[in-house]
Amino acid sequence: MIFETREAPPFYKNGFVLGCEETREAILIDPGDEVEQLLAIVSEQHLDVRHILLTHAHVDHVAGLAAAKRQLDAAIWLHADDLPLYQAAPEQARFFGFTIENPPPVDRFYEVPGTIEFGRYRVEVLHTPGHTPGGVSLLVGPTGRPGKKLFAGDTLFAGSIGRTDLPGGDHDTLIGSIRGVLFKLSDDVEVYPGHGPRTLIGEERRTNPFLIGRTP
């Protein structure tokens, strides 16, 4: 699988390009301030981006959507429970002292459970609320085989968890999402958070200080 990640200030939020090496069909995940780097990868790799998948609707995860939609004309996907946050993205930006283009209308709302395909690969959509009401994690792998790459948004980080002090956040719901959804995955699943380095489900199950002793 073609797999690239980039980050950019001010939030240093991870954005991702995933592509099928055979068909060149691809997806973008959470295009933010690093969007021009992601779009350059798409062009250089001659990828056909079919879907733009959002893990949630905080401003750092949607700031690059207008540019991505303009260049790619791919379908934007979001969980319906995050639509109010999505529509308030310009206000979120102003709160942090900057402006963004208004995000384009959402094209598709996730069905959970549900799957999205690109080339020889499949995305399994997992509803993991708590950081936001409509937060999702995206489990990616070859079609017909268990996914081993999890794009967790701001639900789970290496050694930490998503904050819940923002509008729509709820700590108990977040812990329930991690325990009841993410920790049901196998230890060798690679976790790619919205911020910071890669980790493993098994590593977080064993060592995450916010979750030790909370495993079902």
User: What pLDDT shows up at residue 215?
Assistant: 43
Task: Report the Cα–Cα distance between both ends of the chain, in Å, rounded.
Answer: 33
Per residue in 140-158, pLDDT (tens digit) is 999 999 999 999 999 999 9
Average pLDDT, the chain: 96
> What mean pLDDT is predicted for residues 170-190?
97
Q: Which residues lie closer than 8 Å to 77 by C-beta, 6 or more apart? A: 51, 52, 53, 54, 106, 107, 108, 109, 110, 116
> What mean pLDDT is predicted for residues 173-191?
98
Per residue in 11-69, pLDDT (tens digit) is 999 999 999 999 999 999 999 999 999 999 999 999 999 999 999 999 999 999 999 99
| Domains within the chain, CATH numbers bracketed | 2-207 (3.60.15.10)
User: What pLDDT shows up at residue 167?
Assistant: 83
Rounded CA Rg of the chain: 16
User: What pLDDT shows up at residue 201?
Assistant: 98
User: What pLDDT shows up at residue 216?
Assistant: 46
Tell me the whole-structure pTM to 2 decimals: 0.96
